[in-house]
Copies of this chain bind each other. A is one copy, B any other.
Amino acid sequence: MAEKKTEEFQGFELDQHLCFAIYKANHAFNRFYKPVMKKLGITYPQYITLLALFEKDDQRVSELGERLFLESNTLTPLLKRLEEMGFISRTRSKEDERQVIVSLTDEGRGLSDGVIDVQHCAFTSLDASLETVTELVDQLNDIQRKLTAAKAKVPA
């Protein structure tokens, strides 16, 4: 059982697995942001969604989904909650009734100030230079791109 497959993977321990390291870092960000988001009355996925809207307002659900790698089955209920809380509005497009346009309300836009504070707090907690972080972001985006492209070839 558990014969050696390649030299490089022998003895790889959990902590050294890239996927686990990413899992943990994601987890840590989640935990870090959660209490602050709670103060704002939103969850971390809702925060990520709002980030996408701060960057570009009035997006279609599917447009947001491409950006966030989520689909309507996840986004629809999440967006309905943000709408209920008054941070966004959801309106059917006049040109194409199939499309739902998601827009920030004034109250939603108002969250961005608090959000920028937290980002700054996270950044300073990391105690890293902007260059280091930028390089890391590039590497992670590269990994994401390559894994997405590889698309997990399931042979059999």
Which A residues are closer than 8 A to B by beta carbons? 1-3, 5-6, 8-9, 12-29, 31-36, 39, 48, 51-52, 54-55, 67, 69, 109-110, 112-113, 116-117, 119-123, 125-127, 130, 133-134, 136-137, 139-141, 143-144, 146-154, 156
Contact = CB atoms under 8 A, between A and B. Distances in A.
17 contacts: A1-B109, A1-B113, A2-B116, A3-B113, A6-B120, A9-B116, A9-B119, A14-B67, A17-B119, A18-B122, A19-B33, A21-B136, A21-B140, A32-B147, A36-B154, A125-B146, A126-B146
Contact of A8 (B31, B121, B123, B156): B123
A137 B16 contact: yes
Contacts of A148: 28, 31-32
Please classify the interface of chain A as helix (H, G, I), strand (E, B), loop, or mixed, using the class held by over half of its residues: helix
B120 A146 contact: no
A15 B54 CA distance: 12
Nearest to A133: B18
A5 B69 CA distance: 29
